[in-house]
């Protein structure tokens, strides 16, 4: 809802041009980030800050010259608060895909509430950062400008000022954004603004939300937090996608293993049937040999019969012709019937086996196509995993890098603090005991009041 940033002299020019809606030689407005300026509404913008005869840049130089100011490139000469119109004053909300919701302020009542909100925000900021009591002439002495922009996505105000504080030790003013905007100030800003607006509107208007309850953050902190959340979301999406692909790949591999087992069983069944056909062919050969033997026997009997008709053998058994003929018929008919039945049965079995083999061959072809399809799916899943792996590793590495950078900066800052504290302790050790004790007491009291922690030494040796 509100955020703050500090700027050195070299960074103020472009910002002031943006605040004042200055145009370049091509008629384009100065923009920052993804801002969209609706030039049809630019005439609705206005400045709540004081009107001066000099430019904003000249005013910054003038104000810095009037107070103690260390002229270094890294000294912040301007602080800017961006105060955005809260949701509680909107008459409607338009939700947009992949964008922040668009707040609508339609009608005279909404316009009046907006104007009152920005005017009261200006008063609140003046009271907070321009501590000159009830002197109306000094209420905005440090204010550079306070432009309300109505021509962007959401109405907001840029409250820019020179961070001047009173140096009690030297008895005069100085430029110090660090002393004016401290941790305590940021932690209480939104709560205090909410209380002020409740007194004005008689109700809550949405100053406090999940992003502001824990205290205000600077623009850089918000950007870092957003970047980390975005990176974490990308890593989470990659992990889900990778896990889903792995599960599908494993399922496909299980299907392939099952099909390969089925195919192996099919091959074994085919080999068994082919072996059975071979056995049947062997049986047919045996039957043919048997029949051929019987035929030879028949020819022998016919010869005997022929001899029996033409010769008389002494001592031989004589049979009636009718019985002899029956014996011959029985001897000849029995093997033919038996052989014919065996051959018919074997041929039927072979025919059935051929049909079975044809069915199994068709099944083998179908399973081969299905197996090829599944193997293709596995290859595609493998490609997908290989595509996801680099991004997953890269983003995980980037996350670790961001965390490592933050830890390194903290460690570096701690070392610098330790060095400063070491030097300070050396100076204090050279002081007379009463002065030394008084200094340490003042130091601890200041820390206790500012940070609200139990009184204890913070690196100052007694």
The CA dihedral of 374, 376, 382, 383, to the nearest 10 degrees, is -150
Query: Which residues of the chain register pLDDT less than 70?
Result: 30-35, 131-138, 209-231, 281, 283-284, 287-288, 290-344, 386, 388-399, 429-462
Mind listing the pLDDT tens digit for each residue in 19-65?
A: 998 887 777 776 655 567 888 899 999 999 999 999 999 999 999 99
Burial class (CB in 10 A: 0-12, 13-18, 19+), 17: middle
Burial class (CB in 10 A: 0-12, 13-18, 19+), 79: buried
CATH number for the domain whose boundaries are 2-217: 3.30.930.30
Residue found by looking up tokens 């991004």 in the block: 391
Distance of CA 79 to the CA centre of its chain: 35
Residue closest to 290 by CA, chosen among 332, 345, 335, 334: 335
CA dist., res. 153 & res. 35, Å (int):
8
Look up the pTM and report it: 0.48
Where are the domains positioned within the chain? 2-217, 237-394
Residue closest to 125 by CA, chosen among 208, 184, 51, 181: 181
Whether 45 contacts 21, CB under 8 Å: yes
């Amino acid at each position: 809802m509100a955020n703050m940033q500090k700027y050195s002299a070299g960074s103020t020019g472009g910002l002031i041009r943006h605040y004042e809606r200055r145009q370049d030689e091509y008629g384009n407005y100065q923009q920052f980030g993804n801002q969209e300026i609706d030039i049809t509404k630019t005439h609705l913008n206005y400045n709540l800050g004081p009107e001066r005869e000099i430019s904003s840049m000249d005013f910054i130089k003038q104000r810095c010259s009037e107070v103690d100011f260390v002229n270094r490139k890294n000294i912040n000469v301007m602080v800017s608060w961006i105060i955005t119109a809260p949701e509680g004053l909107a008459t409607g909300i338009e939700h947009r895909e992949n964008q922040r919701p668009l707040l609508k302020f339609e009608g005279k009542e909404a316009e009046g509430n907006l104007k009152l909100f920005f005017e009261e925000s200006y008063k609140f900021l003046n009271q907070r950062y321009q501590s000159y009591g009830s002197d109306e002439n000094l209420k905005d002495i440090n204010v550079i400008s306070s432009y309300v922009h109505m021509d962007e996505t959401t109405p907001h105000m840029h409250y820019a000022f020179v961070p001047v504080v009173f140096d009690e030790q030297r008895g005069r003013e100085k430029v110090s954004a660090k002393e004016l905007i401290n941790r305590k100030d940021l932690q209480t800003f939104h709560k205090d603004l909410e209380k002020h607006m409740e007194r004005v509107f008689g109700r809550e208007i949405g100053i406090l939300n999940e992003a502001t309850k824990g205290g205000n953050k600077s623009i850089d902190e918000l950007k870092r937090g957003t970047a980390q959340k975005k990176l974490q979301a990308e890593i989470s999406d990659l992990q889900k996608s990778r896990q889903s692909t792995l599960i599908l790949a494993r399922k496909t591999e299980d299907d392939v293993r099952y099909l390969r087992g089925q195919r192996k069983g099919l091959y074994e069944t085919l080999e068994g049937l082919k072996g059975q056909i071979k056995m049947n062919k062997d049986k047919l050969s045996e039957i043919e040999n048997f029949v051929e033997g019987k035929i030879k026997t028949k020819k022998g009997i016919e010869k005997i019969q022929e001899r029996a008709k033409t010769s008389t053998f002494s001592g031989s058994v004589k049979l009636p012709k009718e019985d002899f003929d029956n014996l011959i018929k029985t001897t000849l008919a029995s093997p033919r019937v038996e052989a014919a039945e065996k051959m018919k049965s074997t041929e039927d079995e072979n025919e059935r086996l051929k049909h079975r083999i044809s069915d199994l061959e068709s099944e083998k072809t179908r399973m081969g196509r299905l197996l090829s399809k599944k193997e293709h799916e596995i290859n595609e899943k493998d490609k997908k995993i290989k595509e996801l792996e680099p991004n997953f590793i890269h983003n995980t590495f980037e996350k670790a890098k961001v965390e490592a950078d933050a830890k390194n900066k903290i460690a570096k800052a701690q070392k610098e603090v330790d060095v400063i504290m070491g030097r300070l302790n050396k100076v204090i050790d050279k002081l007379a005991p009463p002065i030394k004790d008084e200094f340490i007491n003042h130091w601890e009291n200041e820390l206790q009041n500012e940070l609200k922690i139990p009184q204890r030494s913070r690196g100052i040796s007694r």
